[in-house]
Structure 1
Amino acid sequence: MSIPATAAPASDTPQPGAQTAGSLPDAVTATDLAPAARPLAQATPAIAVLVPCYNEEASIAKVVRDFRAALPGCVVYVYDNNSKDRTIEEARAAGAVVRCETLQGKGNVVRRMFADVEADIYVMVDGDDTYDAGKAPELVRKLVDEQLDMVNGARVADWETYRRGHRFGNVLLTTLVTMVFGKRTQDMLSGYRVFSRRFVKSFPVLAGGFEIETELVVHALEMRMPIGEVETPYKDRAPGSVSKLSTFRDGFRILWMIGKLIKEERPMQFFGIASLLLAVLSVGIAVPLFMEYFATGLVPRFPTAVLATGLGLLSFLFLTAGLILDTVTRGRREMKRLKYLEIPAPAFDPAVIGTPR
């Protein structure tokens, strides 16, 4: 079930052919106006709360109820990912729209949610009841007030709330992404975010698992989208709820995803560093050979000379690959930007956020 765009009240809509003070001629629509002159297209945005779920029987009902209370008029979508417990029944009983995705992994669920659900604003949150639903209106209002495309819910909690491996991994991976793509978020791996329609419908989800959070952040950074962050409380899971995140397995998958994104989004850096390392190694091997040749006129270690030459050639090949792929990446980025710009920026009245539609 998709969420229709919220239309203006019937009493405020002029009849065909009729014109009132300040109304537009029949041949002109609001979308033809410049953004600065465009009136509020919708009084209240259609908000969809997206909840990817796997075996969250103990907490999903509370999550659904809390977000329905925090954002009156929103529609909560729970996408079940092959749960073996009563997650579906609990979510449906709490008033959620329940759908299923059989491809295992959070990234696969997010891909399906972004493709299926139609809304103006999307709130994505985990179904484990570790995030504060009361912060949702603040996140949504920040998105609307500042015309942002993503607002990240940065987790604030006691150190004891985080598992030690998760805490270290979050800091390490966030720092690594910050060094390469820029520092615009404090908590890259948060599962609590708000998105504009522009973001959701122009984001090609490629990740299959928990590395989806990394892909979301890097996409926003590379597209230079306007993003923001709001600190939000983070608490322990409900009794009976178990984390599905594996510290080492998923940590390495996220690290692998970061490497792939660097190769695809920053190929000149990726292949340039490899080219520099190969060049240094080639020169380091070749210098003693040259010194011996100048001293004796002989090259007694011929295989070493071949190795140095091969490494030098590889260095130039890597540099060439980086230059070519950098041009290709620029073209891809331009196409993604054009697709993003095809979707009009929303205009909503911030005063109605969190009120019934």
Structure 2
Amino acid sequence: MKIAILLPCYDEEGAIAETVLGFKNQFPNSDIYVYDNNSTDNTVKEAIDSGAIVRHESRQGKGEVVRTMFNDVEADVYIMADGDNTYDATAAPILVDELIKNNLDMVIGRRSKDKSAYPAGHVLGNKGFSLLINYFFKSGLKDVFSGYRVMSRRFVKTIPVLSDGFQIETELTVHALHHKLPIKEIDTDYRERPEGTTSKLRTFKDGFKILSFILFLIRDVRPLFFFGWLSFILANSSLLLGLPVIADFIDTGLVERFPTAILSSSLGVISILSLFSGLILDNVSRGRLENNIILYKAFPK
């Protein structure tokens, strides 16, 4: 069985060599691909010197890199990790064995709970977004943002990667949950970044992007839920504004709050349009889901 190790990389001098060597010790006969994303330091040289196959992706963003890796690399099993030497390479054989033994499509390396390895904002964001995804997709995952994943060929070759940045882990997770693909989490150690290296994840800016992408995915895969709630909010707003106007009309026979009446009526119309938009898009989404599942099942295991 051919195993490929995929390491997206951007300015990881001082960490990438140890990352490559760690996986090389576990899988000496496997190809290790370092996809450089416009690094400005010695990342490429360190990767080549450590024995990795180095390729380049000029479009900036982790999602762009992962899309290219999934398109280009051929293997039976894919191991994806970050190039910052924070993930435990010795756990990779366990994750691969779990994938093969239980015929799974993705095994997520759930990171240890040692908070000293995480910025405080990352811990809070991970918990909050995990709860949001678990609520909407009825799952019990603990670490939806882990970049340590082992995936089957069928999963890698049938997922249409749409994200361009750090939303990629969210997309991989939601795709598996929405299509009810077999996945599992396994605890792994997570280390602090090597001294002298810095994280590229910006807590607030990238956190906002991830939240926006989660809302986009919810709208995309559960449109009736999304537009149904929007319709409910608009309908209640219409009633709150419109009831006093109706009460005044009953008492006086006049519409004394004409602008309020127009606003209330407009919100009511938009509420109805939102509900029917959700119904229509739900049928479209269901048809697309069925096509994706057919494509998935037709792909050789």
Say yes or no: does 1:59 pair with 2:15: yes
1:3-82 residue pairs with structure 2 within 5 A? Answer: 45-82=1-38
Q: Say what the alpha-carbon RMSD is for the aligned residues.
A: 0.9
Higher relative contact order (CA 8 A, sep 6+): 1
With structure 2 as the length reference, what TM-score do the two structures score? 0.98
Counterpart secondary structure, 2:243: helix
The gaps in structure 1 that reach 5 residues or longer are: 1-44, 346-357
Q: Which runs of 4+ in 1 moved over 6 A?
A: none
What is the distance in 2 between the residues matched to 1:197 and 1:46?
10
Q: 1:96 is aligned with what amino acid? A: A
CA contact (8 A) 1:71 1:136 kept: no
Structure with max Cα Rg: 1
What is the distance in 2 between the residues matched to 1:279 and 1:344?
48
Q: Which has the larger displacement, 286-295 or 275-284?
A: 286-295
Residue in structure 1 matched with residue 247 of structure 2 by the alignment: 291
Question: How far did 1:74 drift?
Answer: 1.3
Residue in structure 2 matched with residue 192 of structure 1 by the alignment: 148
Q: 2:234 is aligned with what amino acid? A: L
What is the distance in 2 between the residues matched to 1:63 and 1:266?
38
Say yes or no: does 1:277 pair with 2:271: no
CA contact (8 A) 1:157 1:235 kept: no
Counterpart secondary structure, 2:143: coil
CA contact (8 A) 1:78 1:96 kept: yes
Say yes or no: does 1:127 pair with 2:83: yes
Residue in structure 2 matched with residue 219 of structure 1 by the alignment: 175
Q: Would you tell me which structure has more helix in proportion to its own residues?
A: 2
Question: How far did 1:289 drift?
Answer: 1.5
What is the distance in 1 between the residues matched to 2:192 and 2:266?
55
Question: How far did 1:71 drift?
Answer: 2.0
Question: How far did 1:72 drift?
Answer: 3.1
Q: 2:134 is aligned with what amino acid? A: T
Residue in structure 1 matched with residue 54 of structure 2 by the alignment: 98
Counterpart secondary structure, 1:154: strand
What is the distance in 1 between the residues matched to 2:264 and 2:113?
53
With structure 1 as the length reference, what TM-score do the two structures score? 0.83
Residue in structure 2 matched with residue 162 of structure 1 by the alignment: 118
Q: 2:191 is aligned with what amino acid? A: K
The gaps in structure 2 that reach 5 residues or longer are: none
What is the distance in 2 between the residues matched to 1:253 and 1:109?
17
Aligned length: 301
Question: How far did 1:247 drift?
Answer: 0.5
1:6-64: CA deviations, max 9, x gaps? xxxxxxxxxxxxxxxxxxxxxxxxxxxxxxxxxxxxxxx10000000001110111111
What is the distance in 1 between the residues matched to 2:62 and 2:210?
13
CA contact (8 A) 1:152 1:185 kept: no
Question: How far did 1:303 drift?
Answer: 2.1
Match of 1:240 among 178, 196, 200: 196
Say yes or no: does 1:86 pair with 2:42: yes
What is the distance in 2 between the residues matched to 1:340 and 1:226?
12
Matched-pair identity in %: 51
Match of 2:72 among 105, 113, 116: 116
Q: Which has the larger displacement, 222-231 or 287-296?
A: 287-296
